[in-house]
Amino acid sequence: MLATYQKDNYFSKHGYYVTHTAGFSAEDSTLDYPHTTAHFILFYLKHGSGTIKINGRRYDFCAGDMVLLDPTALFHCEVEGNAFHERIVLHWKPIALQGLPCNAAALAAPFQGEQNRIAAEVVSHNGLDVLMEQILFWAKQPAEDGAVMILCKITELLVKLKRLGPLGADSAAQSSDPLIDRVLLYLNEAFAQELSVDDVAKRFFVDRSYLSHRFKEHVGLSLWTYVTLRRLHRFNELVRQGMSIEEAHFKVGFQNYSNFFRLYKKYMGTTPKHYQLSLKNGHTAGNEAEIY
């Protein structure tokens, strides 16, 4: 069984929260398909190993590694089952840094792009693991002093990540496939356009069945399911920015509202309207809640 510490009330109040999970689990996967969140995530695996697929690319990670995720990343994380593992996860929004003499957008830069994994040796050499432990320590303190100290440590951590630059991250995905890499690059840019599997196959001069098989083998999803999930999570992002449901579902490529509604409920576990209302009430509904 897993023992999990979570202090998510800080999220609405301060723009960040911390979770700590340790123990054994036979099946440690929260969702069986890729998803996004509405915030930045720093995942530190203290013990154990696992895999993460980010925008269709697979990365293996082990004890001491960190993974950076931005709000647009479509990802699926699996920690090895039947083995002890421990992780600390920091969720934050740029709003957490308001009032500080720093550029929140610049500090978010390391989370964006294709370089998502930071190897254990880089984490340890730069003291990133120590900062995560300190953040967790102060998150467990009841006094308001804890909130101040967490913010200081988060800022220090983000500054260190920024100074590492691209050399701090490992962009080499495991089991990469040149064809699927090109297809993913295209889909991640064009998912909102009018598309079909046949169109994609013709674009890359391959047989439809061949492409479907290769895509499912390397990504773990059918090509069309991947496109659907990209659209749904982009829809959520647009709604968070204030766009209406009607405009947003057309914007991401759904021409038929009934089909969009059915798919949204299937994959998000709620309705578009309920998701919109949850944002107005100050919390997130469905599968965009706590994910680790």
Which carries the bigger pLDDT value, residue 77 or residue 271?
A: 271
Convert the pLDDT of each residue in 46-79 to its tens digit.
988 888 888 777 788 889 999 888 887 788 777 7
Bridge-partner residues for 118, per DSSP? 66
What is the model's pLDDT at position 92? 87
Task: Give the residue carrying structure tokens 């983000």.
Answer: 158
The highest-confidence range among 16-30, 41-55, 187-201, by mean pLDDT, is 187-201
What is the model's pLDDT at position 65? 92
Instruction: Report whether pLDDT(121) > 80.
Output: yes
Distance CA 133, CA 78 (A): 22
Instruction: Report whether pLDDT(288) > 70.
Output: no
In which residue ranges of the chain is CATH 1.10.10.60 found? 178-288
In which residue ranges of the chain is CATH 2.60.120.280 found? 2-168
What is the model's pLDDT at position 104? 73
Confidence band of 7 (pLDDT split at 50, 70, 90)? low
For the chain, the first-to-last Cα distance in angstroms comes to: 14
What is the model's pLDDT at position 96? 80
What is the model's pLDDT at position 209? 95
**Highest CATH level, class, for 178-288:** mainly alpha
**Mean pLDDT over each residue of the chain, to the nearest integer:** 81
Which carries the bigger pLDDT value, residue 216 or residue 56?
A: 216
Confidence band of 292 (pLDDT split at 50, 70, 90)? very low
Superfamily of domain 2-168 in CATH is Regulatory protein AraC (2.60.120.280)
Residue 289 burial (CB < 10 Å; 0-12/13-18/19+)? Answer: middle
**For 208-219, what is the mean pLDDT?**
90
What is the model's pLDDT at position 113? 63
Which carries the bigger pLDDT value, residue 25 or residue 24?
A: 24
Bridge-partner residues for 22, per DSSP? 3, 86
pTM of the model: 0.69
Convert the pLDDT of each residue in 193-208 to its tens digit.
999 999 999 999 999 9
Which carries the bigger pLDDT value, residue 193 or residue 84?
A: 193
What is the model's pLDDT at position 56? 77
* Single-letter amino acid, residue 206: V
Distance CA 136, CA 140 (A): 6
Which carries the bigger pLDDT value, residue 108 or residue 197?
A: 197
Paired tokens of 155:
């800022």
Q: Which of these ranges, 163-172, 173-182, 249-258, 270-279, has the smallest mean pLDDT?
A: 163-172
What is the model's pLDDT at position 186? 92
Instruction: Report whether pLDDT(174) > 70.
Output: no
Instruction: Report whether pLDDT(97) > 90.
Output: no
